Amino acid sequence: MKLELRKIKVTDLALGNEMKFENGLLTIDPQVIIDGLMEDVNVKSVKVDIAKPGDKTRIIPVKDVIEPRVKVEGSGNGFPGVTTKMEQLGSGVVNVLSGAAIVTIGDIVGFQEGVVDMWGEGAKWTPFSTTYNIVVDISVVDGLQPHDHETTVRIAGLRAAEIVGEVARNITSDEVEVYEMGSIFEETNKYPDLPKVLYVEMLISQGLLHDGYIYGVNSQKILPTLIHPNEELDGAVISGNCVAACDKITTYQHQNNSSIIDLYNRHGKDINFMGVILTPELTTLEGKFRTCDYTAKLCKSLGADGVIISEEGYGNPDSDLLMICKRLEDSGIKTVLITDECSGWDGMSQPLADTTKEAVAVVSAGNVSHVVNLPPAEKVLGNPEAIATLAGGWEGCINDDGSMKCELNAVIGSTSEIGYHNLTVKLY
């Protein structure tokens, strides 16, 4: 498979009367997005605003973040199986509005939505303070059940990304990233001496607001499955707005999965990167045994020498992470895990909900309960009071002047367990 991502660098963002891109400036006509999203009968109203890096703007509660793109060659524009008809992803040419992001907000459906600060103290904790954000505020029709509400806003975000992505259709870009990989046999013939490496990406699969989707299939319903890394980079995996904001994998992070990209960068040099195994995190013990055994079996069948395993969420998925690790290490396959920690406000508590001595190589993406103080914003997109009910906030954590105190739990992407951000934990 060969996928070309043509990166069109967005360096400024404005609202205007037409959709266009010129010399780095992306201009958004809100009405175009509103008209597109209002086609869904479940959408009552849509508001569109923008937030640029450095603006004293707070966005809350954030549901998902999506990168606007358009596929100009090859099959599968949009998000096949979800917003567009089923097509094979992973090959072709995609024009990417790189540096721009759709950020969806609206009434809280679940407590797992989050906050993005575009400036100052808050900005350094989230990767989405450096993107030029098109903020889409979605209200749904009255009486919609929570599951339908959630589906509606998720799809609206994806559609907004497609609508904005169209702007890039005829723009040329000098910066092209090429992701190309033959079959496992071809690559192994090419690099017979390099260690064979797989990436196991765990996906929360636990119900409303807690599911990842693969070509529109709820990950709850699958056995662990092998996917070409290009398919994920091409939009095959989307977020069901899962778990606490800090370590949910937003759709944007699937499209730009840092573990995939960093493994790709070493492919043919230090390692032979063979592919991605998507593994659901199930809540039942039987489910955990089934998926962990199955994941380990896939890794063994493919002859992996090394595996990176990334988690999504914390708590019971810690068990899945460590169960997979133990199975692989016991089979002689070397693992590195990426997780985050729940060590309390003071950092003094044990960091994981489970433990296994085989987990000797672990990357920590930060303590989800680390408390940050965020100054008042000049402009709030959404509802600042939402922080009191979000995971990571509490009643009284917002002050009269608009400043607030919250855990990283509430900050989107802060402790990303696919390693998208640069936090870690040190023992003091």
CB closer to other proteins, 21 vs 111:
111
In single-letter form, the type of residue at position 16 comes to G
Q: How does strand 114-117 pair with strand 57-66? A: antiparallel
| Cα atoms in the Cβ-side hemisphere of radius 13 Å centred on 332 | 6
| Cα atoms in the Cβ-side hemisphere of radius 13 Å centred on 196 | 20
CB closer to other proteins, 73 vs 121:
121
CB closer to other proteins, 45 vs 424:
424
CB closer to other proteins, 93 vs 425:
425
Q: To the nearest whole angstrom, how small is the minimum distance from the Cβ of residue 323 to other proteins?
A: 14
Q: To the nearest whole angstrom, how small is the minimum distance from the Cβ of residue 35 to other proteins?
A: 32
CB closer to other proteins, 95 vs 416:
416
The contacts of residue 32 (CB under 8 Å, 6+ apart) are 19, 163
CA–CA distance, 241 with 353 (Å, rounded to integer): 22
CA–CA distance, 136 with 59 (Å, rounded to integer): 10
CB closer to other proteins, 58 vs 370:
370
- Does a cis peptide bond (omega within 30 degrees of 0) precede residue 80? no
Q: To the nearest whole angstrom, how small is the minimum distance from the Cβ of residue 332 to other proteins?
A: 12
Angle at 125 between CA 308 and CA 403, to 5 degrees: 150
CB closer to other proteins, 88 vs 258:
258
Q: To the nearest whole angstrom, how small is the minimum distance from the Cβ of residue 388 to other proteins?
A: 8
Q: Give yes or no for a contact between 191 and 272, defined as CB atoms under 8 angstroms apart.
A: yes
Q: Give yes or no for a contact between 84 and 117, defined as CB atoms under 8 angstroms apart.
A: no
Strand partners, 132: 100
Q: To the nearest whole angstrom, how small is the minimum distance from the Cβ of residue 352 to other proteins?
A: 6
Cα–Cα nearest to 13, from 2, 22, 1: 22
Q: To the nearest whole angstrom, how small is the minimum distance from the Cβ of residue 203 to other proteins?
A: 15
Secondary structure (3-state) at 31: helix
In single-letter form, the type of residue at position 32 comes to V
CA–CA distance, 402 with 380 (Å, rounded to integer): 10
Helical (H) or strand (E) element with 121: helix 120-123
Q: Mind telling me the catalytic residues?
A: 242
Q: To the nearest whole angstrom, how small is the minimum distance from the Cβ of residue 308 to other proteins?
A: 5
Q: Tokens 């995939």 label which residue?
A: 260
